[in-house]
Structure 1
Amino acid sequence: MIRRLFYMALGAYLATWAQRRLRALKPDHLARRAADQVRGFADDVRDQASHRETELRARFGLDTVSSTQTHLPPNVRDGR
């Protein structure tokens, strides 16, 4: 009797676990999770690019537009 009750409870647990795992594999859930990961990656890339740009601007003294114009010869345009 106890053995049957144990196996019945084990079966119910495994069935619930399997349903949850299968529900997590639905296409809409996978798409949402992938979109969140891509969005997080893009945010990380933007943060790192901004940080690196700040480092380079500080290193080369490019904090103001007037400082970039003084380093260029008079006949060279700066791309604006």
Structure 2
Amino acid sequence: MIRRLFYMALGAFVALWTMRKLQALRPDHVARRTAGRVAGLADQFKDFAVDVRRQSASRETELRAQLRLDSVETRPTRYDDVKDGR
């Protein structure tokens, strides 16, 4: 008797769980979840891009200070000393 009651309760639980999972696969639910995930992913990408820009600007400032450069247009006075990669 107890065994039958246990399996009947287990069957009811599995049936309810399966119905809820199938209802979650309806197109309107899938579209809503997908839109939410895409929006979250776009926000994460935007935050990543902001961090990269901030860190690259910081690194550029450090390198300019080490090399004593005032601007991007500063070039060496003698071009004989510059290697052109050939």
- TM bucket, shorter chain: 0.5 to 0.7
4+ residue segments displaced more than 6 Å: none
**What's the counterpart of residue 29 of structure 1?**
29
Normalising by the residue count of structure 1, what TM-score does the alignment of the two structures yield?
A: 0.66
Per-residue CA shift, 1:14-65, capped at 9, x if unaligned?
111111111111111111111111111100111111111122233335xxxx
Show the 5 A alignment for 1:1-80: 1-61=1-61, 71=72
% of aligned pairs identical?
Answer: 50
TM-superposed CA distance for 1:71, in Å, is 4.5
Q: What's the C-alpha RMSD, in Å, of the aligned pairs?
A: 2.0
Normalising by the residue count of structure 2, what TM-score does the alignment of the two structures yield?
A: 0.62
Listed as ranges, the gaps of 5+ residues in structure 1 are 62-69, 73-80
Look up the equivalent residue of 1:43 and give its one-letter code.
D
Relative distance call for 1:59 and 1:6 in structure 2 (3 A) is closer
Relative distance call for 1:55 and 1:9 in structure 2 (3 A) is same
Listed as ranges, the gaps of 5+ residues in structure 2 are 62-70, 74-86
**What's the counterpart of residue 67 of structure 2?**
none
- Highest Rg: 1 or 2? 2
